[in-house]
Chains A and B, each alone.
Chain A
Amino acid sequence: MTDTTIVAMTEVTKAYGELRALDAVSLTVAAGEWVAIVGPSGSGKTTLMNIVGCLDRPTDGTVLLGGVDVTRCAAAELTQVRREQVGLVFQRFHLIPHLNALENVMVAQYYHSLPDEAEAMAALTKVGLAGRAHHLPSQLSGGEQQRVCIARALINDPALVLADEPTGNLDAANAQAVMRLFRELHEQGTTLMVVTHDPKVAALSEREIVLDHGRIEREEFHVQS
């Protein structure tokens, strides 16, 4: 692992009894890299995402996130690492329905350090939603909600933005808008790990890791235009 390695997984296994959701997976993600994790349903990509995102622990192997061995962390430490190192983007957005866009971004700050309205507004501006800051999620389109999610994921300057099927609940136009945003973030140096079953989304990444039955089947590299 180099100083620029954000994620380093070594022989990571996640077993549920006899079933191995992940089977001795090893991979690294460098700073500023855009990696797509693809595979059919049941391939282990969500399990991998949960382990990298410190939402789950492997049964075996080690995971270094920003240099921290998260496999040795107690629950509270794991929460702290997740808070400081990872920004999460969900397929279903998971915005708190009774908080407006600005407040949803500030919630992430609240659990990290101190809520800062100006910083939260800057994050929303970055994703093109300054004018919708005081709207509730129910008043935003799917694409707008996902962009609020992205602003929330970015607000604490995480080492890694982890997106689980970010366009899964969006129409084509909104999906394109979100992917454009991801491209901009990537160009600005944000490290992205996107879990997707959509080949078009995967094709936008620098590196595509294909999972099948919990193992890495192949890796593909894409030339960025």
Chain B
Amino acid sequence: MSTTKGTFRAAMLARSLTRRRSRVVIAVLAVAIGAATMFSLSTIAIDIPKHLALDIRSVGANLLVSPSETDTMSQQVVADVTAALPDGSVVARAGFRFETVRINQQPFIAAGTDMADAQSVKGYWSVDGDWPEHPGEVLLGTEVAEWVGLRVGDPLTLSYDDETLRLRLTGIADTGGNEDALVVLSMDDLETLTGSGAVVHLAEFSVALDATTLEAVAAAITAQVPYATAAVVQRLARSEADVLAMLRSLLSIISVVVLALTMIGVSTTMAAVVSERRTEIGLRKALGAGDAEVVAEFMGEALVLGALGGLLGVGTGYLLAQYVSQQVFARPVAFTPWLAAATFAAALLTTWGAGLLPVRKAATIDPAIVLREE
């Protein structure tokens, strides 16, 4: 019974792959190693900077909003500016009201705020003790605590005009800067002490956007929120952008180098595979195969090797990315389907390109020369 040419061709391909296992394994591994390295580096290059950007945001606010017309703004400014920022970009935010208070007749600047918000935007503060969680609790900067000679757990009294407020010191903050001279208490406690309404003097935002976008957003906020002016903390935004850009560039360069090395490795492997089968190519031609037929048969095999190597590479590359990310950055990476498809396509293309030259060269050999015995 006749078999179709396509069926027999598929059978020959299957035999070649299953009965030349050691050669196939070597070729597939050559592709897989390149694909795995490329996929893992690309995954890290895409995913990690996003996480790092969020981490970097913990070093402080990069967008400051202050009143444009009067001295104060409504507390609503925090919500209004948050709404004006791109969805998901706000990592932390807090509004602050500043008043001069006295401890033991000494004047200090008190900052009234929402404690949970402040804790997120001031993540770089090192607090001995705890952030205040309840009304009647206060956090002092190290300078203030030293000046008044208080320790965590001590009571203190704040005075404002003729009013006083008794509080308990829950924590002492080492901020590394001017904020060491602050007295930090809840907005409600400050309102109780001062007897006046809900206002803020400054709103701080930690926003996960690149420097250029942040500048544009700040300008838009200034235009959209009539009572406020938004300003980017330039030094912070530029440094952050530079660090992330350097990381992306480094990973991109490494990926390109890996791709080039993969091409060389796969080319060498394919050239060796084809060279080993020169006699077979000569025989097929002697039996009546045309040059194009020989090229098609061998390139078909190359594509299968590329596909197997690509699949193995993507799978292994993802595991490698997870391992490296956990070890270096202490966080997982997400699986990016389009990147997996692109890596698989690159593996196919690389194998096809690497195999084409040696196969085309081999297909033009004179079978009489290859098969000659003398």
Contacts and interface: CB of A to CB of B under 8 A. Distances in A.
Interface of A: 41-42, 46, 50, 53, 55-56, 76, 79-80, 82-83, 88, 90-92, 94, 96-99, 103, 106-108, 110-112, 114-118, 136, 152, 164-165, 168
Contacts of B2: 114-116
Given A82-B286, A83-B288, A98-B15, A165 B8 contact: no
B374 A110 contact: no
A107 B19 contact: no
Of the candidates A76, A91, A107, the one having the most CB atoms from chain B within 10 angstroms of its own CB is A107
B3 A50 contact: no
A79 B20 contact: no
A83 B15 contact: no
A79 B287 CA distance: 8
Of the candidates B15, B280, B282, B283, the one having the most CB atoms from chain A within 10 angstroms of its own CB is B283
A117 B16 contact: no
Interface in B359-374: 366-368, 371-374
Nearest to A111: B288
Contacts of B282: 94
* A-B pairs with lowest CB-CB distance, top 3: A83-B288, A111-B288, A98-B19
B260 interface: no
Contacts of A168: 373
A50 B288 contact: no
A71 to B, nearest CB: 16
Contacts of A46: 372-374
B3 A115 contact: yes
B235 interface: no
7 contacts: A55-B367, A98-B20, A111-B288, A112-B288, A115-B2, A115-B8, A165-B373
A91 to B, nearest CB: 5
Interface in B302-342: none
Nearest to A116: B2
A117 B8 CA distance: 10
B287 A103 contact: no
Contacts of A83: 287-288
B286 A55 contact: yes
B287 A118 contact: no
B1 A114 contact: no
Interface in B282-296: 282-290, 293
Contact of A111 (B4, B15, B287, B372): B287
A56 B280 CA distance: 18
A104 to B, nearest CB: 10
A117 B293 CA distance: 22
B12 interface: yes
